[in-house]
A and B are shown apart, each in its own frame.
Chain A
Amino acid sequence: MTYEVPVAPGEKAEIEETTELSGESWPMWEVFVRAHRGISHVHIGSLHAPDVETALENARDVYTRRGEGVSVWVVPSTEVHAFEPDAAADYVEANEKVYRLATTYEIPEEVGQM
C-alpha cells in the first residue's frame, strides 16, 4: 500500500499543518531504554504526558511491550540541548586529524600484535 495521500482531480496537493487548539497540550518527553543489563540506555522515541510518572508508565507500555528493555528513562524534551545545525561543520574537522587514529601508525610485523 502507500501512505501518500492520493490527490483527487481538482484537489490541491498541500495539506493544512496548523489549526486553533482548544485544550492544553501536554509536554513532550524523550524515552531511553536499556535493552539488557550491561549496555547503555539508548534513545528509542518520544511521547506526550502531563507529568513524569505518567510519562514513565506510558513509555513502559508503548516501548517495552515485547521485552525490549529492562530499564526506562524519560527526559523532558526541552532539557535536551544541542549545537545549532550550523555548527555541524565543526565535526568535519575532526576527520582531518588522522594522527588521532591508531590505524595511522605502522608497526613492524615482527613486533607482533599491538
Chain B
Amino acid sequence: MVVMSPEEQFQAIIDAEDKIEPPDWMPDGYRKTLIRQIAQHAHSEVIGMQPEANWITRAPTLYRKAILIAKVQDEAGHGLYLYSAAETLGVKRDEMQELLHQGKHKYSSIFNYPTLSWADMGTIGWLVDGAAITNQVMLTRGSYGPYARAMVRICKEESFHQRQGYEVLIRLCQGSPEQKAMAQDSINRWWWPALMMFGPHDSDSTHTEQSMKWKIKRVTNDDLRQQFVDMTVRQADYLGLELPDPDLRWNEERGHYDFGDIDWEEFWHVVKGNGPMNRERVAHKVKAWKDGAWVREAATAHAKKREARSAA
C-alpha cells in the first residue's frame, strides 16, 4: 500500500469528487480561504436584508408585502446556515459578526447600492438573486461538505426570490407607461453592478487557480458572468426592457453575447468602502445589534433562571 501524506490524501478525496468534512485534515490555506468566503457570503445574506426591508412598509399590496417579508426572512435563514457552515471550521459566529461590525469583514458590494423605487424589488430578485443563483448552483458542487449542503437549501429558496422579482417586473411592464419607465430606470441602475457581482476578470483574480484545484470554486468569474449575460438577454427581451449596454450583441462565432467593459474603477471604489450605502449599511447593522441587546440578555437570564429552578 502506498502511504500518502495528509495533503495527498486530502487532494485525492477532492479529485475523486468526494467531500471534505469538518474533522478531516485540511491545509491551512483551504481552511482560511473557506472561512473568508463563507463569512463574506453569510454577511452578504444578512446585510442583503436591508435594501429590501426598506420597501416592506411601502409594498403596493398586502400580497407583495407578505412575499417581501418571506424573502427577507429567507435571507436571515441563509445567513444562519452559512454562519453554521463557517463554525465547523473553528470560527465563532459572534466573532465573525463582530468583525463585520468593526468593518474588518466585507460583504458583497451589490448591497451598497440604494433601493430607490418599487421596481428595484423586482430587479433585485431578477438580476441580483439571478446572479447569486448562477454562482450558488456552482457552489453546491464545492468540495467542503457543510458549505455545499447549505448551498443546496439556499438554491431552492433563491429560486422563489428570482421568480417573484421577475413577476414584479412583468406586472410593471404590462402596466402604465410610467410603471414601465420605472422598471427601465431600475434596470439601468442595477445592470452594471449586477455584472460586477461576479468579481474581477480572471486575469486579475488572485486565487482562481488554487481555489479551482481545491474545488472551492468550479467555474471562473468571467465564465459565470458570461453564463449570466447569455441567460438574461432573453428575459429582458420578454419584458420589453433594454439592457443599458450599447455593445451588447450576439456573437455567432463564439455562441455567446458580447458585452461592454465594466467600470472597474467604480467596482474597487465600492469594494474599498466608498459606495453610496457602505457606511449606512454597517451602521444600521450595528444599531440593530445594539438595540436588540436587551432581548438577548433577557433570554439568557430567563434560560439561567429556569435551569436553576429545575436543578433545585
- Would you call A8 and B268 a contact (CB within 8 A)? yes
- Residues of chain A within 8 A (CB-CB) of B98 are 19-21
- Would you call B41 and A3 a contact (CB within 8 A)? yes
Known: A3-B135, A6-B199. A54 touches B84 (CB 8 A): no
Interface assignment of A103: CB less than 8 Å from any CB of chain B: no
Per-residue contact bits, chain B 86-101, to A (CB 8 Å; 1 contact, 0 not): 0100011111001100
- Would you call A45 and B271 a contact (CB within 8 A)? no
Expressed in whole angstroms, the minimum distance between the Cβ of B135 and any Cβ of chain A is 5
Known: A17-B35, A21-B95, A48-B93. A3 touches B40 (CB 8 A): yes
Question: Closest residue of chain A to B220, judged by CB?
Answer: A2
Q: How far is the CA of A21 from the CA of B93 in the complex (A)?
A: 11
- Residues of chain B within 8 A (CB-CB) of A46 are 84, 87
- Residues of chain B within 8 A (CB-CB) of A65 are 70, 73-74, 77
Known: A15-B104, A23-B297. A2 touches B94 (CB 8 A): no
Main secondary structure of the interface of A (DSSP, over half): loop
Expressed in whole angstroms, the minimum distance between the Cβ of B219 and any Cβ of chain A is 10
Q: How far is the CA of A18 from the CA of B197 in the complex (A)?
A: 27
Known: A15-B35, A25-B92, A47-B84. A2 touches B197 (CB 8 A): yes
- Residues of chain B within 8 A (CB-CB) of A66 are 156-157
Per-residue contact bits, chain A 8-19, to B (CB 8 Å; 1 contact, 0 not): 110001111111
Q: How far is the CA of A88 from the CA of B131 in the complex (A)?
A: 39
- Would you call B207 and A13 a contact (CB within 8 A)? yes
Expressed in whole angstroms, the minimum distance between the Cβ of A14 and any Cβ of chain B is 6
- Residues of chain A within 8 A (CB-CB) of B108 are 1, 3
- Residues of chain B within 8 A (CB-CB) of A85 are 23-25
Per-residue contact bits, chain A 57-70, to B (CB 8 Å; 1 contact, 0 not): 00000100110000
Question: Closest residue of chain B to A15, judged by CB?
Answer: B36
- Please pick, from B106, B157, B272, the residue contacting A5 in the complex, using a CB distance under 8 A: B106
Expressed in whole angstroms, the minimum distance between the Cβ of A112 and any Cβ of chain B is 38
Expressed in whole angstroms, the minimum distance between the Cβ of A9 and any Cβ of chain B is 8
Expressed in whole angstroms, the minimum distance between the Cβ of B140 and any Cβ of chain A is 13
Q: How far is the CA of A18 from the CA of B36 in the complex (A)?
A: 12
Segment of B58-66, B250-258, B299-307 engaged in the interface with chain A: B299-307
Known: A18-B91, A23-B296, A50-B302. A1 touches B132 (CB 8 A): yes
Q: How far is the CA of A26 from the CA of B298 in the complex (A)?
A: 12
Interface assignment of A109: CB less than 8 Å from any CB of chain B: no
Interface assignment of B117: CB less than 8 Å from any CB of chain A: no
- Residues of chain A within 8 A (CB-CB) of B23 are 82, 84-85, 88
Q: Could you pull out 10 A-B pairs where Cβ atoms are within 8 angstroms? A: A2-B135, A6-B200, A17-B99, A20-B98, A21-B92, A25-B92, A25-B93, A51-B302, A65-B74, A66-B156
Q: A45-B81, A45-B153 are known contacts; what are 16 more A-B pairs with Cβ within 8 Å?
A: A1-B108, A1-B110, A1-B134, A1-B199, A2-B221, A3-B41, A4-B37, A5-B40, A15-B36, A17-B35, A21-B94, A23-B94, A26-B299, A45-B84, A46-B87, A47-B80
Residues of A that sit less than 8 Å from B by CB: 1-9, 13-21, 23-26, 28, 45-48, 50-51, 54, 62, 65-66, 82, 84-85, 88
Leading 3 A-B pairs by shortest Cβ distance: A1-B197, A51-B303, A50-B303
